[in-house]
A = this chain, B = another copy of it.
Amino acid sequence: MISQEKNSGSAATPGASDASAGSSRARPVTLREVAEAAGVSTATVSLVINKKKNARIGDETRQRVHDAIRQLGYRPNAMAKTLVSGTSRFIGLVADGVATTPFAGQIIHGAQDEAWKHGYALLITNTEGNRDLEKDAITMMLEYKVRGILYSTWFHRPTDIPDTLREADFVLVNCFSPKPGAARAVVPDEAQGGRSATEILLRGGHRRVAFINATIPAPAKDGRLQGYKDALEAAGISFDPGLVLEAYPDQEGGYRATEELLKRNVTAVYCYNDRMAMGLYDGLRENGLSIPDDMAVVGFDNQEVIAAHLRPPLSTVSLPHYELGAAGVRLLLGLDEAPGDSPVKIACPAVERASVGVHSTA
């Protein structure tokens, strides 16, 4: 049995006169209908709408046209303008994983806010990495004469540039070409983020700090490790490769890394991501250890629905997805300059919570 939805007010209301509102609406009002209502030619309506200066149209006629437009609710066709200008007020956004990650949403949000600010709307396609769909999507965007295309990936990685994409003005977002200078790109500053994450622990008084890195090769893996080394060096602590572990970057990976971590005699650990930290929390608890007293923990990502809601809430650094989207649009529109051959790097800000206490140095 499927019960009726209470709040939808689905109780019988026979003959409700607005039952079809929104479901069958007259086609859009046309230029011809405006002309007929105003008693003028379609050419005259067109001249009034496009505010042609030299057109000799009397004030009274002009007023009649405006009245007809208002009364009929005529909306000028934005598409028609592109025939004159050659480009539309669209910016395309090709994303490979809107659906499978909570991250991509913020790239969209940032890109949209910035595009909107400059009078552009976003045309978004989610390809889930399907190359055929991607090609069709870019072709569609080209046919709609987009101003340019943001090509984005859900995790930071090197990417090939599809041939079709080269027909457009484009910017890579959260990805980059392995060929130096081949394309403008905007990526997170993984090394700065890794350094900030480690510094949270160093500021807490910790000297023996482990890093659980990912097993999977990625710019994040290299950059976050580099940042860890940089932070140690700046604090005068020599790097000990024995304190770098590796695990699969999810909860299960973090949980399974607990045993190895506990052999390292450390007081603090920086995890490659928040999901790993979440699994490590479970592992530490099962060993009767408390956070932060027995082990201080820092993550990476500031992942919605996890980081702020663990017990205790997790210190971490934010992946700047909103800023990546916004910066991509600014780069595309020429509002920001591309810094030579390397991608623009966006900072990953630290977010401090209760998973790192103050450690009294032994």
Question: Given A108-B99, A142-B75, A179–B9 Cβ distance below 8 Å?
Answer: yes
A176 at the A/B interface (Cβ < 8 Å)? yes
Q: Which single member of B24, B116, B180 contacts A9 (CB below 8 Å)?
A: B180
Contact residues, A145-175 vs B (CB, 8 A): 145, 158, 161, 165-171
CB distance from A347 to the nearest CB of B (A): 8
A227 at the A/B interface (Cβ < 8 Å)? yes
A222 at the A/B interface (Cβ < 8 Å)? yes
Report A74-104 CB contacts with B as 1/0, cut-off 8 Å: 0111111011001110000000001111101
A237 at the A/B interface (Cβ < 8 Å)? no
Does the CB pair A2–B79 fall under 8 Å? Answer: no
CB distance from A321 to the nearest CB of B (A): 9
Question: Given A78-B143, A303-B305, A99–B342 Cβ distance below 8 Å?
Answer: no
Does the CB pair B144–A1 fall under 8 Å? Answer: no
A184 at the A/B interface (Cβ < 8 Å)? yes
A219 at the A/B interface (Cβ < 8 Å)? yes
Does the CB pair B168–A25 fall under 8 Å? Answer: yes
CA distance A236 to B121 in the complex (A): 56
- Counting chain A residues whose Cβ lies within 8 A of the other chain, the interface size class is 35 or more
CB distance from A362 to the nearest CB of B (A): 28
Does the CB pair A166–B21 fall under 8 Å? Answer: yes
- Residues of B near A126 (CB, < 8 A) are 105, 108-109, 112
- Which among A2, A190, A252 has the greatest number of chain B C-beta atoms within 10 A? A2
CA distance A30 to B77 in the complex (A): 21
- Residues of B near A260 (CB, < 8 A) are none
Does the CB pair B123–A121 fall under 8 Å? Answer: yes
- Residues of B near A101 (CB, < 8 A) are 102, 105, 304
CA distance A190 to B22 in the complex (A): 24
| Additional pairs, 12, CB under 8 Å, beyond known A3-B227, A21-B182, A22-B184 | A5-B345, A7-B222, A8-B178, A10-B342, A16-B181, A27-B86, A75-B142, A108-B124, A121-B125, A121-B140, A251-B311, A285-B285
Seen from chain A, the residues whose Cβ lies within 8 Å of a Cβ on chain B are: 1-13, 16, 18-19, 21-25, 27-28, 30, 73, 75-80, 82-83, 86-88, 98-102, 104-106, 108-109, 112, 116, 121-126, 128, 133, 136-137, 139-140, 142-145, 158, 161, 165-171, 176, 178-185, 187, 189-192, 219, 222-223, 226-227, 230, 250-252, 255, 275, 278-279, 282, 285, 303-306, 309-311, 322, 338, 341-343, 345
For the complex of A and B, 9 pairs with smallest distance between CB atoms: A102-B102, A10-B342, A99-B109, A79-B79, A19-B181, A78-B143, A3-B191, A251-B309, A22-B183
Some 7 contacts from A to B, beta carbons below 8 A apart, are A22-B161, A22-B166, A30-B86, A75-B167, A98-B105, A109-B128, A121-B123
